[in-house]
Amino acid sequence: MVIVTLQREDCIGCNYCSEVAPNYFSMDDDDGKSILMESVEKRGFHTMKTHDPDAFDECSYAAESCPVNIIHTKQV
Amino acid sequence: MAKGKVELMAPAGSFESLQAAIDSGADSVYFGVEQLNMRARSSINFTIADLTEISSRCKAADVRTYLTLNTIIYDHDLKLVKRLLDAAKEADITAVIAMDQAVIAYARQIDMEVHISTQINITNIETVKFYALFADTMVMSRELSLRQIKKICQQIKDENVTGPSGKLVEVEIFGHGALCMAVSGKCYLSLHSYNSSANRGACKQNCRKAYILTDKETGNEIEVDNEYMMSPKDLCTIDILDQVVDTGVKVLKIEGRGRSPEYVSTVIKSYREALDAIEDGSYSPEKVDGWMKKLETVYNRGFWNGYYLGQKLGEWSEGSGNQATQKKVFVGRGIHYYPKNKVGHFRIEADKIELGDKILVTGPTTGVKEFELSELMVDDVIAEVAQKGDDCTIPVDFKVRSSDKIYKIIQA
């Protein structure tokens, strides 16, 4: 399983994650910050769990691209 | 404090700095809200909810307020832009400092005053005329010389270039603080190396590091006179401020929204005194020496006059960062204030303070207060030293709050 988290509050809205991982991230037109699709929010951490085999690579690319390091991925 | 013909604009990255700016004699303050400003990475940005408090505090002190909304803007930012501008208008913020046309257009639509950011990089009178259709104040490119700035100011008068308010366009320049190694707002170094766009307020400051230059063909290291080859010294104009004022600029902006409240306090006080001295004719080399010494006590990378006197090349910093002659050491927190006796109650949580120490107290409402410790009581007994863990009282002429922190200032 792949677990992806997004600390959304610190997002500066640069758009990289949605550019490199469009299947998992999009930009919220309301507040200009990133959205991690299908995620659940708890205390500011938005977490998405998936068995999709592509998720780890794509989301890791997003994590590497994020200038404020608020995206984390792990494979369990 | 006198408010002169040149407006002194202070940076405010926090309520502490905002209060310090007001108390130190700033005529106006600029600040960022949420992520769409050039200090987006900073953790100390204000939120929309703070706008009313910023506005009311500044209005009470007759200080103008400018919202910086000067990053590049994407489609997904547009709603936030409108919400920020609507909230700023609602809170009666004086103006918005803008770069993107979307911001300029919407601000005008809601009849909000617009200032053109240095990110637009204005370098000539025709560009001033173009932006005069939308803006009353414009920041000139930091790469212009005073001669060029003076000419632009003169042409604004001669050709009666007015902004939407009907008044002559006011020219603003940077007076003090960090300079960018690239032309204002045109740096992609951080973006290319870290994916972290300076133009979205997320500059990683690669230019501030030391580098070795190697010729790949021969493998030889090329000798450069300074390994901090891309890190400009900080701009300081206090020693040429009479020439700056003489250009006809109307606003002098102090850089430093990421700086500490005591930085804001020291720099604004120095420039306030200098501007006032120019007006009353008492500006002198001796006074300049005094201000320079004060400015050196807070964060700096060494000083130079920027490009204002027509230098061809930058002057590069000799170190990785701060060259301030003083630093602050956290010692404790405020607990209570006894207004009748004018005594502040503090708890010492680290290190110690002793008589003769230079003390700094900062807080979101208190701002910045500095004094020399001449009297001290620990547990109601007269003392010379207060140690970690001690509760102490100190006579002070300002209100001490539980949100205040107390520091001692030592030589760096």
Q: Is the pLDDT assigned to residue B323 strictly greater than 80?
A: yes
Q: Is the pLDDT assigned to residue B266 strictly greater than 50?
A: yes
Mean pLDDT of A24-33: 95
Give residue B1's pLDDT. 40
A32–B195 CB contact, under 8 Å = no
A13–B35 CB contact, under 8 Å = yes
Domain range list for chain A: 2-75
A32–B197 CB contact, under 8 Å = no
Asked whether B34 and B68 are in contact (CB, 8 A), the reply is no
- SS3 per residue for chain B: CCCCCCEEEEECCCHHHHHHHHHHCCCEEEEEECCCCCCCCCCCCECHHHHHHHHHHHHHCCCEEEEEECCCCCHHHHHHHHHHHHHHHHCCCCEEEECCHHHHHHHHHCCCEEEECHHHCECCHHHHHHHCCCCCEEEECCCCCHHHHHHHHHHHHHCCCECCCCCECEEEEEEEECCCCCCCCCCCHHHHHHCCCHHHCCCCCHHHCCCCEECCCCCCEECCCCCCCCCECEEECHHHHHHHHHCCCCEEEECCCCCCHHHHHHHHHHHHHHHHHHHHCCCCHHHHHHHHHHHHCCCCCCEECCCCCCCCCCCECCCCCCCCCEEEEEEEEEEEEECCCCEEEEEECCCEEECCCEEEEEECCCEEEEEECCCCEECCEECCEEECCCEEEEECCCCCCCCCEEEEEEEC
Give residue B202's pLDDT. 83
Nearest CA distance, A73 vs chain B (angstrom): 18
ipTM score over 0.85, yes or no: no
Give residue B220's pLDDT. 84
Tell me the backbone φ, ψ of residue B387, rounded to 5 degrees: -100, 170
Domain range list for chain B: 7-180+231-304, 326-411
A→B contacts (Cβ < 8 Å), by residue, are: 11-16, 27-33, 64-68
Mean pLDDT of A34-49: 95
Nearest CA distance, A15 vs chain B (angstrom): 9
A30–B80 CB contact, under 8 Å = yes
* Residue of chain A with shortest Cα separation from B199: A14
Mean pLDDT of chain B: 91
Superfamily of domain B326-411: Translation factors (2.40.30.10)
Q: Write the residue in A14, A30, A64 that is nearest to B79 by C-beta.
A: A30
Give residue B225's pLDDT. 66
Query: Which chain B residues are Cβ-neighbours of A31 within 8 angstroms?
Result: 79-80
Query: Which chain B residues are Cβ-neighbours of A16 within 8 angstroms?
Result: 195
CATH among 3.30.300.30, 3.30.70.20, 3.40.50.720, 3.40.630.30 for A2-75? 3.30.70.20
* Residue of chain B with shortest Cα separation from A12: B35
- Tokens at B352, concatenated: 């110690």
Tens of pLDDT along B149-163? 999 999 999 999 999
Q: How far apart are the C-alpha atoms of B178 and B310, rounded to whole Å?
A: 18
Tens of pLDDT along B162-221? 999 999 999 999 999 988 877 776 788 888 888 888 888 888 888 888 888 888 888 887
Nearest CA distance, B115 vs chain A (angstrom): 23
Q: Identify any residues that bridge with B338 across adjacent strands, giving them in sequence order.
A: B343
B→A contacts (Cβ < 8 Å), by residue, are: 34-36, 40-41, 74-80, 194-197, 200-202, 204
Q: Write the residue in A15, A67, A68 that is nearest to B76 by C-beta.
A: A15
Superfamily of domain B7-180+231-304: Aldolase class I (3.20.20.70)
Mutate to test the interface with A, among B38, B48, B76 (most CBs of A within 10 A): B76
Mean pLDDT of chain A: 94
Q: Is the pLDDT assigned to residue B344 strictly greater than 60?
A: yes
Higher pLDDT, B179 or B264: B264
A30–B200 CB contact, under 8 Å = no
